[in-house]
Structure 1
């Protein structure tokens, strides 16, 4: 599953009524899918020959921004782990809020990554003939 699909599954799952007996299992499955999708995203970006290595090779000026994206990975991974651990016993409204915050963090991470790619490959720094 791709990252966008994982985000959308969680969004859909948390929008269902919390009093529905299927709410927790549905959210739990969606968060598990997002965890898998996020792990794949991290592998594709940070892994050997991954996207970030290519960007660093092509645009070393963006190293600090890449480091921030790597930090995001750890933050999101920790939040996913924490939410997963609380889904069985946490208060549903609080879990819904946490999941929404997590989704927002992943959306923002995706946008920072897209901005970085634009900066690396679409911004003309001049000096070329």
Structure 2
């Protein structure tokens, strides 16, 4: 599953009323799918042949910004694990709040990544003839 689809599925799952018997299984499925999509995203971006390596090769001036994105990966992975561990909690509103914060963090991460790619490949630094 694509990361955007995973985020959107999570958004949809947490919008189900918490008293609905389908709420917990739906959120649990959404978390599992989002974890898988996020793991795939990390695999495609990090590592010697990942997207970030390409950015460093093409625009080395941006290498320090990649650290933020890699740190985001650890933060999101930890938050996903924490959310998964709290799904059995009876405090559905706290789980929903935590999921909402996670979703926001993931959208912000995607935006930082898009901004970095734009800077790497669309910004004209001049000097070309």
Task: Identify the TM-score tier after normalising by the shorter chain.
Answer: over 0.9
**Aligned equivalents of 1:126 and 1:113: distance in 2?**
23
Indicate whether 1:117 and 2:91 are aligned: no
> Could you say what the CA RMSD is over the residues aligned between the two structures, in angstroms?
0.7
Is 74-83 or 45-54 further displaced after alignment?
Answer: 45-54
**Aligned equivalents of 2:78 and 2:53: distance in 1?**
23
Q: Which runs of 5+ in 2 are unaligned?
A: none
**Aligned equivalents of 2:67 and 2:90: distance in 1?**
33
2:18 is matched with which residue? 18
Q: Please state whether the residue corresponding to 2:125 is helix, strand or coil.
A: coil
**Aligned equivalents of 1:71 and 1:65: distance in 2?**
10
Q: Deviations over 1:56-98 (max 9, x none)?
A: 0000000111110000000000000000001012410000000
Q: Which runs of 4+ in 1 moved over 6 A?
A: none
Indicate whether 1:128 and 2:114 are aligned: no
Q: Please state whether the residue corresponding to 2:27 is helix, strand or coil.
A: helix
Q: Please state whether the residue corresponding to 1:12 is helix, strand or coil.
A: helix
2:95 is matched with which residue? 95
CA drift at 1:127: 1.0
2:3 is matched with which residue? 3
Q: Please state whether the residue corresponding to 2:42 is helix, strand or coil.
A: helix
Q: Which runs of 5+ in 1 are unaligned?
A: none
